[in-house]
Amino acid sequence: GLAGGLGEDLLASCYPLHPLSLLVLPELCARYGQHGRTLVSFVAGGGRGAVPWFVDGASWGAGALPSMGLESLYDYFVSGHQPAGPASAANVTRLMEVTSVIRDSRGLSAAAAAALRVIATLNLVSASGPLRASRDVIGYAVGPGADAALAELESRSIVTHRGHADEYRVWRGTDFDIQAAMDVLRARHAGVPLAQTLARVVSPEPVVAARHGLRTGTMRIFAQAFLGAGAAEAGHDGAILYMTEPSAGIPTAAGPEPAIVVRPAGDMGRIGELAVETAAIAEMLEGDEAVRGDWVARRELWDRLSHGVTSIESGLARAYGEGSEWWLVHGDAGPRRLAGTGGAAASEAADIAYPESPTVHNEMINRNTPSMQASRARLRLITAMVAHPGEEGLGISGWGPDRAMYESILKKTGIHAKRGAGWTIGEPRADLRSAWRSVMSSIESSRRRRVGLAEVYAALQAPPIGAKAGMLPVVTVAALLARRGDVALYEHGTYRPALAPEVIERLLKNPAHFEIKLLSGRTGAKGRAVRAVAAELGLGERETSLLGVVSALVRAAGRLPGYTRATSSLRARDRAVRDGPPMSECRLLTRRSQTGATSRARRLMPGFARPPTGSCASWRSTLPTRQGTSASLRPRSG
């Protein structure tokens, strides 16, 4: 086989090197020497064990020609004649372990000693692959008598055979019977479904839908799991579920997020054997007290575990690569075959499941967990939205992260734009229109009941929009500002008339504490009453709404003297006004005593003299006589 692969002329030109030595020598020089310098020293140097030394001392009689096998390479590289190289700590440690075992192995037959050095050399350069110390490779290197030599080495516990990998390893030996313990654990894991066994020994990393992310600016991540081994890790945009039975049907049940189901290309029998072996090793390392106290056995098991996991991952890559079937299961349309695999399939699935994904190319805010710096910039941005909605650029100076967020999520999308005579906040263009309309739909739903911001956010994050958590407060506050005349904001059930900086900060930290409610009052008798009260209060056109009037009255009520807010020495209709919806249900959560109610507010409060029975939206629309109001609200003397 080697002659066909390397060519007879090449092998002949490299004589007296054995074909196996020809394959191993470059790797040995790289790991334990100085690459080309060590190679030249071995081939042309005059040191003990080098090629010239071998040629001078070899017997050139009749019969088979002598050659420098793997045992000759071992003798040279541990003799001290090769140039020292920058070997890694792991390589040096392994070399010392192997040489110490061979040095302490006395009384071996010549064939066993040669086989031992062959195994040691292969162990030093390769952990797996075709050049591992398998029985066939050792037989080719040692020649006749290899089987007897291996039996001698195994009987003295100088080498151990890893059956699942067909590889012999040099080791120090231990009193712990690894093979007997493995037999028991193999039988236990053989009856476990393959998906569960694989989930125990390998943990596939999430897959990124890269192409979808480049197009939309939204990075979508798909968790990976084995179908039948439990749910995939939560908190991702979707899941990739690997089937372990090629002949099984594609499941049709779909969850809220898209799921990609992968059918393997071929039989999973070999992967199943490796999984059982590796799971048994993992359990032995975790739970066997004898192994914990035996560093030799533990080292051997760790080596086997590493090799097993690597072999399984390679097998899975082949099984779920070329020839496998990738199906999208999402919604009611049934399974849909995807064209690609891996990240390409994830991007295709994301395009299908999230067709209304926002297009925001700003990774600071378009993510689920913004950094601390991004969170501070987002707070400054929302504060500017509330304080300066009529100014170009929201009055933000400089080009810090808050300005970058403004440009990408507000200006570029058209949420903040010049409309008519000035800058306003309104419906965006196509990039964010679906997200905007989702918030507006939630606002309309709040006409009948209060809707929590957590519910608003959940609708934005679910397919087909799939907005990231970092941008949700910006879009939601923008929509509330666009409807500021008829949408009330509540925190822990208490009306908040203004988005003060401290309220914004709490909203960002705990959105679940807030609710919204759409208030009526722009038409009919209620509308006329609202406009009349707004005119009396001197409110501008933007505040001529039920919510604007309520906010003004609540602010005025908050400035009433403490005595006036607590006393019972008022007429019944005055107490009804003070304790009714505008002053109780919609009252500010304030603990400070503030003085000096405005005279206009004092005159207007008895206008709602009939005790209200509904919410803030159900006041009576008449405005009765206001004479004597001021006197009735003042504290009585004496």
- What pLDDT is recorded for position 471? 97
Q: Are residues 153 and 205 in the same domain?
A: no
Cβ atoms within 10 Å of 637's Cβ, excluding its own: 4
Q: Which of 291, 322, 353 is the last residue of a domain?
A: 353
- What pLDDT is recorded for position 118? 93
Going by the DSSP 8-state scheme, the letter that residue 17 receives in this structure is B
Q: Are residues 268 and 343 in the same domain?
A: yes
**pTM of the predicted protein model:** 0.69
Q: Does residue 120 sit within a domain?
A: yes
Report the amino acid identity of residue 449: R
- What pLDDT is recorded for position 574? 79
Q: What whole-number distance in Å separates Cα of residue 622 and Cα of residue 532?
A: 10
- What pLDDT is recorded for position 79? 58
- What pLDDT is recorded for position 386? 96
If pLDDT is split at 50, 70 and 90, which confidence band does 406 have?
very high
Q: Which of 486, 512, 538 is the last residue of a domain?
A: 512
Residue 178 has pLDDT above 70, yes or no: yes
Report the amino acid identity of residue 97: E
Residue 599 has pLDDT above 50, yes or no: no
- What pLDDT is recorded for position 638? 40
Region 112-133 average pLDDT: 83
Of the given ranges (28-42, 162-176, 541-555), which has the lowest mean pLDDT? 541-555
Residue 561 has pLDDT above 60, yes or no: yes
What is the percentage of the chain residues whose pLDDT exceeds 70? 84
If pLDDT is split at 50, 70 and 90, which confidence band does 421 have?
confident
- What pLDDT is recorded for position 537? 74
Q: Where are the beta strands (DSSP E) in 286-403?
A: 325-329, 336-337
Per the CB < 8 A criterion, the answer to whether 138 and 168 are in contact is: yes
- What pLDDT is recorded for position 148? 95
Q: Are residues 52 and 160 in the same domain?
A: yes
Q: Which of 280, 326, 73, 266 has the alpha carbon at shortest distance from 186?
A: 280
Q: Does residue 493 sit within a domain?
A: no
- What pLDDT is recorded for position 172? 66
Q: Does residue 492 sit within a domain?
A: no
Q: Which of 512, 541, 561 is the last residue of a domain?
A: 512
Residue 422 has pLDDT above 90, yes or no: yes
- What pLDDT is recorded for position 37? 87
- What pLDDT is recorded for position 218? 96
Residue where the block lists tokens 């029998």: 269
| Partner residues linked to 425 by β-bridges | 416
Q: Write the DSSP assignment of 24-74 as a string of letters.
A: HHHHHHHHHS-THHHHHHHHH--STTSHHHHHHHS---SSSPP-B-HHHHH
- What pLDDT is recorded for position 305? 92
Region 160-186 average pLDDT: 82
Q: Which of 495, 498, 542, 493 has the alpha carbon at shortest distance from 383?
A: 498
What residues contact residue 369 under an 8 Å CB cut-off, 6+ apart?
Answer: 469, 470
Q: Are residues 167 and 197 in the same domain?
A: no
- What pLDDT is recorded for position 313? 95
Q: Which of 514, 91, 463, 471 has the alpha carbon at shortest distance from 256?
A: 463
Q: What whole-number distance in Å separates Cα of residue 201 and Cα of residue 279?
A: 6
- pLDDT one-digit tens code per residue, 55-72: 998 888 777 788 999 999
Q: Are residues 376 and 325 in the same domain?
A: no
Q: Are residues 461 and 538 in the same domain?
A: no
- What pLDDT is recorded for position 282? 94
If pLDDT is split at 50, 70 and 90, which confidence band does 80 have?
low
What is the percentage of the chain residues whose pLDDT exceeds 90? 52
Q: Find the helix or strand (DSSP H, E) in which 238 lies.
A: strand 238-242
Residue 636 has pLDDT above 60, yes or no: no
- What pLDDT is recorded for position 418? 95
Q: What whole-number distance in Å separates Cα of residue 374 and Cα of residue 522?
A: 39
Residue 273 has pLDDT above 60, yes or no: yes
Residue where the block lists tokens 């699942």: 164
- What pLDDT is recorded for position 141? 92
Pairing of strands 336-337, 221-226: unpaired
Q: Are residues 341 and 207 in the same domain?
A: yes
Q: Are residues 307 and 390 in the same domain?
A: no
Region 580-585 average pLDDT: 50
Q: Does residue 76 sit within a domain?
A: yes
Q: Provide the domain limits for residue 31.
A: 2-171
φ/ψ (deg, to 5) at 220: -110, 130
Q: Write the DSSP assignment of 325-353 as a string of letters.
A: EEEEE-TTS--EE-SS-HHHHHHHHHHHH
Q: Are residues 161 and 192 in the same domain?
A: no
Q: Where are the alpha helices (DSSP H) in 465-561?
A: 472-482, 501-509, 524-537, 546-558
Residue 337 has pLDDT above 90, yes or no: yes
Residue where the block lists tokens 């051997």: 300
Residue 580 has pLDDT above 70, yes or no: no
Region 191-195 average pLDDT: 95
- pLDDT one-digit tens code per residue, 351-398: 999 999 999 999 999 999 999 999 999 999 999 999 999 999 999 999
- What pLDDT is recorded for position 99? 82
Total count of domains within the chain = 4
Burial 242-281 (b: 16+ CB within 10 A, else e): bbbeeeeebeeebeebbbbbbbbeeebeebbbbbbbbbbb
- What pLDDT is recorded for position 607? 36
- What pLDDT is recorded for position 128? 52
Burial 12-43 (b: 16+ CB within 10 A, else e): eebeebbbbbbbbbeebbbbbbbeeebbebbe
If pLDDT is split at 50, 70 and 90, which confidence band does 402 have?
very high
Query: Degrees (nearest 5) of the Cα angle 355, 432, 336?
Result: 5
Tokens encoding 185: 């654990």
Question: What is the three-class DSSP state of 386?
Answer: helix
Q: Does residue 538 sit within a domain?
A: yes
Q: Does residue 42 sit within a domain?
A: yes
Per the CB < 8 A criterion, the answer to whether 210 and 343 are in contact is: yes
- pLDDT one-digit tens code per residue, 205-259: 999 999 999 999 999 999 999 999 988 888 899 999 999 999 999 998 777 899 9
Report the amino acid identity of residue 384: A
Region 403-411 average pLDDT: 97
N-term to C-term CA, the chain: 117
Residue 347 has pLDDT above 90, yes or no: yes
Q: Are residues 210 and 318 in the same domain?
A: yes
Task: Look over the chain and give the mean of its residue pLDDT values, rounded to a whole number.
Answer: 83
- pLDDT one-digit tens code per residue, 452-482: 999 999 999 999 999 999 999 999 999 999 9
Q: Are residues 247 and 382 in the same domain?
A: no
Q: Does residue 359 sit within a domain?
A: no
Q: Does residue 488 sit within a domain?
A: no
Cis upstream peptide for 16 (omega within 30°): yes
Q: Which of 73, 143, 152 has the alpha carbon at shortest distance from 109?
A: 152
Question: In whole angstroms, how far apart are CA 509 and each of 288, 320, 364, 444, 469?
Answer: 47, 42, 17, 25, 12
Region 21-33 average pLDDT: 86
Q: Name the percent of the chain in helix, strand, coil, to the closest 5.
A: 50, 10, 40
Q: What whole-number distance in Å separates Cα of residue 252 and Cα of residue 248?
A: 12
Q: What whole-number distance in Å separates Cα of residue 156 and Cα of residue 160?
A: 10
Q: Find the helix or strand (DSSP H, E) in which 161 lies.
A: strand 159-162
- What pLDDT is recorded for position 586? 40
Q: Are residues 569 and 624 in the same domain?
A: yes
What HEC string does 551-583 produce? HHHHHHHHCCCHHHHHCCCCCHHHHHHHHCCCC
